[in-house]
């Protein structure tokens, strides 16, 4: 595939996914704004804890099935897809069982008084909520391999429309249930419905034939051989990217943890477009460029993507750093205003994401051990930084520890780029000017709004 052909398909997929993700984040924000006016912060603290624990198990059992379908030369073979789906089904069943066992474990620990009173893990509603998520694991296992095939072929439009239909249905059901019940359980039932809808759409909406479960030893060995590094990287990656929630859940009150989750959700909404493009466009584009065996093409694709990422992330970081509190003030009532300073501090994590571009290249080159090493540095920094920060400065110190940890992998990423001949001024010079520009815009916005309110 020539560079122009790849560039055109990559751009088209990026436009669709970016537009779809912006719409998706707006839907999620709209739903969140409605729900925060119907429920107390404690409800969001509980749901955030359940989501974090479930997501941890999902990441801990990641076999890299989708990534292997995208990357492999055999990714279009019916036998390969059938074996991949069989592995996904087995993973879903095992994950459901582990979720149920963990729910029993948390219940036993609560009964024994293991958790501090008033924290998220001490709430008696947590274990049964976790048990409901076992159904989500089973449902996720039945998702069609056509999702992975569409990602491989850069079918950004179809993927974006599927995600939007799924999310819109989830939003309508969740808001309706909460409106009539005012119960935290409605949030979980809405999530369960969303998983069912997404799985159904993956089978009936995307083109092509659904894979049939089968087993081929050679295909399984290729998937599991690639997946062993994905497995390790996913475990460490979760700890690096979301481990703060596991740690803070045992330290903060349910209400404080709920407010922290609001700040985290806002940041995730802002970072969502970049994260989607990173996983569903950049990785397939890097993989295809590498399959061409043209080193110059690989360098061109990487350089262009890195420059765009730095301009986007730097500007967003600077703007939020100096004016993020106004976003919370405009959107939420007084119960959630503490999320403002949290968002300002956490915004620096966006800048740390710039090296996710080169991490996709590490995956595409079949060198996920580098990503595992990066995530290990971030995870270790979290484990040390959050408790230390909490001891020294309470809640604020803990969040500073979260932010600092996200930069711990920069030295190793720079080393990888140097060894691959990718470290040069043309790809490294953009993030600082973009950050300063964003800070200037954030300062002007903060000054203007402050003066206007006076």
Spatial separation of the C-alpha atoms in residues 216 and 112, rounded to whole Å: 47
> Average model confidence (pLDDT) for the chain?
82
How many Cα neighbours within 13 Å face the side chain of 128?
6
CA-only gyration radius of the chain, Å: 22
Best-predicted range by mean pLDDT among 19-23, 205-209, 269-273?
A: 205-209
Mean pLDDT for the stretch of residues 424-440: 90
Spatial separation of the C-alpha atoms in residues 201 and 197, rounded to whole Å: 6
Mean pLDDT for the stretch of residues 194-208: 90
Spatial separation of the C-alpha atoms in residues 117 and 119, rounded to whole Å: 6
Per-residue b or e along 277-313, where b marks 16 or more CB atoms closer than 10 Å to that residue's CB: bbbbbbbbbbbbbbeeeeeebbbebbeebbbbbbbbb
Per the listing, tokens 């739903």 go with 31
Mean pLDDT for the stretch of residues 215-221: 86
Determine which helix (DSSP H) or strand (DSSP E) holds 224, and give its type and residue range.
Answer: helix 217-249
Backbone region of residue 64 per phi and psi (left: phi > 0; alpha: psi in -120 to 50; beta: other values): left
What's 174-190 look like in SS3? HHHHHHHHCCCHHHHHH
Burial class (CB in 10 A: 0-12, 13-18, 19+), 71: buried
* Sequence ranges of the domains in the chain: 3-440
CA-CA-CA-CA torsion sign (228, 55, 309, 155): positive
Mean pLDDT for the stretch of residues 138-155: 83
What whole-number percentage of the chain has pLDDT above 70?
A: 87
Mean pLDDT for the stretch of residues 269-291: 68
Spatial separation of the C-alpha atoms in residues 307 and 302, rounded to whole Å: 9
pLDDT for 243 equals 79
**Close Cβ partners of 307 (under 8 Å, ≥ 6 residues apart):** 426, 427, 430
3 pLDDT more than 50: no
58 pLDDT more than 80: no
**Close Cβ partners of 181 (under 8 Å, ≥ 6 residues apart):** none
279 pLDDT more than 70: no
CA distances in angstroms from 361 to 27, 123, 279, 417, listed in the order given: 31, 42, 11, 10
344 pLDDT more than 90: yes
Per-residue b or e along 33-60, where b marks 16 or more CB atoms closer than 10 Å to that residue's CB: eebbeebebbbbbbbbbbbbbbebbbbe
Burial class (CB in 10 A: 0-12, 13-18, 19+), 73: exposed
Q: Are 263 and 328 in contact (CB under 8 A)?
A: yes
Encode pLDDT of 353-383 as tens digits: 888 888 877 877 777 778 888 888 988 999 8
Encode pLDDT of 222-269 as tens digits: 888 776 666 666 777 777 777 788 888 877 788 888 898 889 888 887
pLDDT for 437 equals 95
Closest CA to 374 of 244, 229, 161: 229
1 pLDDT more than 60: no
């Amino acid at each position: 595939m020539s560079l122009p052909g790849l560039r055109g398909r990559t751009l088209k997929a990026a436009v669709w996914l970016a537009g779809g993700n912006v719409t998706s984040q707006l839907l999620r924000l709209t739903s969140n704004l409605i729900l925060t006016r119907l429920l107390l912060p404690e409800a969001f603290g509980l749901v955030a804890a359940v989501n974090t624990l479930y997501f941890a198990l999902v990441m801990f059992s990641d076999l890299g099935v989708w990534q292997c379908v995208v990357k492999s030369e055999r990714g279009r073979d019916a036998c390969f897809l059938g074996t991949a789906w069989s592995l996904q089904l087995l993973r879903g069943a095992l994950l459901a069982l582990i979720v149920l066992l963990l729910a029993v474990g948390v219940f036993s620990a609560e009964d024994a008084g293991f958790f501090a009173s008033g924290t998220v893990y001490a709430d008696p509603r947590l274990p049964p909520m976790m048990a409901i998520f076992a159904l989500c694991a089973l449902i996720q296992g039945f998702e069609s391999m056509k999702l992975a095939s569409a990602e491989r072929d850069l079918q950004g439009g179809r993927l974006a429309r599927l995600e939007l239909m799924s999310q819109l249905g989830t939003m309508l059901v969740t808001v309706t249930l909460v409106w009539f019940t005012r119960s935290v359980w409605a949030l979980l039932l809405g999530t369960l419905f969303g998983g069912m809808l997404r799985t159904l759409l993956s089978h009936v909406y995307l083109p092509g034939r659904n894979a049939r479960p089968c087993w081929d030893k050679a295909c399984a060995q290729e998937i599991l051989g690639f997946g062993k590094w994905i497995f390790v990287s996913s475990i460490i990656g979760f700890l690096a990217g979301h481990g703060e929630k596991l740690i803070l859940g045992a330290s903060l009150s349910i209400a404080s943890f709920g407010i922290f989750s609001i700040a985290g959700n806002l940041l995730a909404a802002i970072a969502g477009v970049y994260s989607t493009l990173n996983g569903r466009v950049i990785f397939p584009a890097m993989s295809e460029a590498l399959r061409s065996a043209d080193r110059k093409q690989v360098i061109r694709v990487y350089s262009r993507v890195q420059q765009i990422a730095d301009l986007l992330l730097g500007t967003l970081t600077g703007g939020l750093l100096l004016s993020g509190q106004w976003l919370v003030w405009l959107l939420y009532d007084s119960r959630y205003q503490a999320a403002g300073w949290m968002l300002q501090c956490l915004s620096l994590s966006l800048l740390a994401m710039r090296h996710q571009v080169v991490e996709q290249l590490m995956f595409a080159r079949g060198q996920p051990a580098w990503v595992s090493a990066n995530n290990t540095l971030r995870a270790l920094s979290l484990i040390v930084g959050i408790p230390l920060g909490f001891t020294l400065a309470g809640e604020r110190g803990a969040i500073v520890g979260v932010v600092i940890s996200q930069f711990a992998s920069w030295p190793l990423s720079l080393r990888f780029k140097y060894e691959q001949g990718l470290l040069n001024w043309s790809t490294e010079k953009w993030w600082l000017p973009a950050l300063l520009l964003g800070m200037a815009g954030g300062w002007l916005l903060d000054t203007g709004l402050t003066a206007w309110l006076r």
